[in-house]
Amino acid sequence: MNKLIQVKTKKTIPPVPQWRGSLPEPSDTTEPVDYFRHLFHIEIIEEVVRQTNLYALQRDVSRPLNVTVAEMEQFIGVCFYMSIHVLVEMVASTMSLNRWENIKRNLHFADNNNQVPGGDKLFKVRPLLDFLNDSFRGIPMDEMLCVDEQMVPFKGKSQLKQYIPMKPKRWGYKIFILADQHGIVYNFDVYTGSIQPCPGFPDISASGNIVQGRLAGCTFMDDQAMKAKGRGTHEEKMASHNGVNLFAVKWFDNRPVTLLSTFVAAKPTTQVLRWDKKKKEVVHVSRPNVVAVYNKSMGGVDLLDSLIALYRTKIRSKKWYQRIVFHMLDLTLVQAWLLYRGDCQSQMPENVQLPLLDFKIQVAKCLCMENKVSNKRKGRPSHAVVVEKNKRGPQSFVPQDPVHRDRTDHWPVHSPEKGRCKVPGCKGIVRSRCSKCAVFLCFTAERNCFVDFHKA
């Protein structure tokens, strides 16, 4: 900010402007995988496939990888499975270990021949980051937004690795995230060691350059003086710049905090409850209005962090950039779930909405099965596959619509056991089942539920 701005004490109560924006009406809910593909769309996967095959040839022209879009989706689906279960039958039947390791080893997003020495430090993942940023910017913004730091846990060797002692995960990559109070991300920027200021603005460190917000020449009561006056003490200053009023407030609670706003000031104040260690009782503390508004909307990135940490993809790799890649997959999945929850609010009660765990499982199943030919494993069966206990359990899983209607590799097979047909309304007990969907379906002269079940 310009040092010639006049700063003065402000005690009047400015009117809080009404938000003039609006969010579109929630759309009809679709399959979980559709929300994920809307953000991580086919153009991203096609580019990853192209660069991965190119990198494999650059390493050894005699050993082409020839990975396809379908295999890359299977690879992502397996990664999601591995964030939930260590070993599951779906992983073993989707892709062999050697094939999965080979894809991970060659996973690439940019041509190494185009890398400039001393250039972009995120060159290897820049296309992926740009693709996702473009997807996130297309989401309609809510009113309450916040910018905060996010840590991607990583302890390997990388010049981009940061150490922040106050974070739960102290070592890792730092990302600046713009999100709303629900955790939906609209923009992000991976920290690479320096963030240049916007043209025409002074350099006020990385955090200040990300969000322009510093008032030069504005002085407040020192911390000790505020502490002597007691908790709830606040001081307010105001300045104008280019016709915009800026309200700076310093408030002392357990420790001092300073806030700068363009639309809300200190008054009206409210009373909040705090525990007093000396008095051993709960006391009332005065809180400025700007603090109340800030607290209402500042937790979006923290909420996002907690959701990602629930089922984080923990795949080890010596390549520094793959930790960023797997984090971005997890972030996109959580983003898709939050958008799904937003569409569900006005259409179904909360108790029937999919929790994050079930949502991620359904996305993983669809990525592994839709439009994919069954993987015929050779040799003896693996003993690492989890074997179900021989007891009566829940009903067999019925695949999502995109899977059982993809018209790919569905074959009727005879089963030594009987089961109830899975077509709604049919009560037939049969021995025929689908080789891909693994559900019982009538396939007789009287009823052909097999065809009805797989119709698009």
pTM over 0.95: no
Task: Give pLDDT, residue 394.
Answer: 46
- Residue spans of the domains in the chain: they are 8-19+215-297, 409-454
Whole-number percent of the chain with pLDDT over 70: 83
Task: Give pLDDT, residue 167.
Answer: 79
Point out the residues of the chain with pLDDT beneath 50.
1-4, 383-395
Task: Give pLDDT, residue 208.
Answer: 59
Task: Give pLDDT, residue 28.
Answer: 79
176-211: pLDDT as tens digits:
999 998 999 999 999 887 666 666 666 666 655 655
Task: Give pLDDT, residue 86.
Answer: 58
Average pLDDT, the chain: 83
**Mind spelling out the 3-state secondary structure of the chain?**
CCCCCCCEECCCCCCCCCCCCCCCCCCCCCCHHHHHHHHCCHHHHHHHHHHHHHHHHHHCCCCCCCCCHHHHHHHHHHHHHHCCCCCCHHHHHHCCHHHHHHHHHHCCCCCHHHCCCCCCCCCCCHHHHHHHHHHHHCCCCCCCEEEEEEEEECCCCCCCCEECCCCCCCEEEEEEEEEECCCCEEEEEECCCCCCCCCCCCCCHHHHHHCCCCCCCCCCCCHHHHHHHCCCCEEEEEEEECCEEEEEEEEECCCEEEEEECCCCCCCCEEEEEEECCCCEEEEEEECHHHHHHHHHCCHHHHHHHHHHHCCCCCCCCCHHHHHHHHHHHHHHHHHHHHHHHHHCCCCCHHHCCCHHHHHHHHHHHHHHCCCCCCCCCCCCCCCCCCCCCCCCCCCCCCCHHHHCCCCCCCEEEEEEEEECCCCCCCCEEEEEECCCCCECCCCCCCCHHHHHHCC
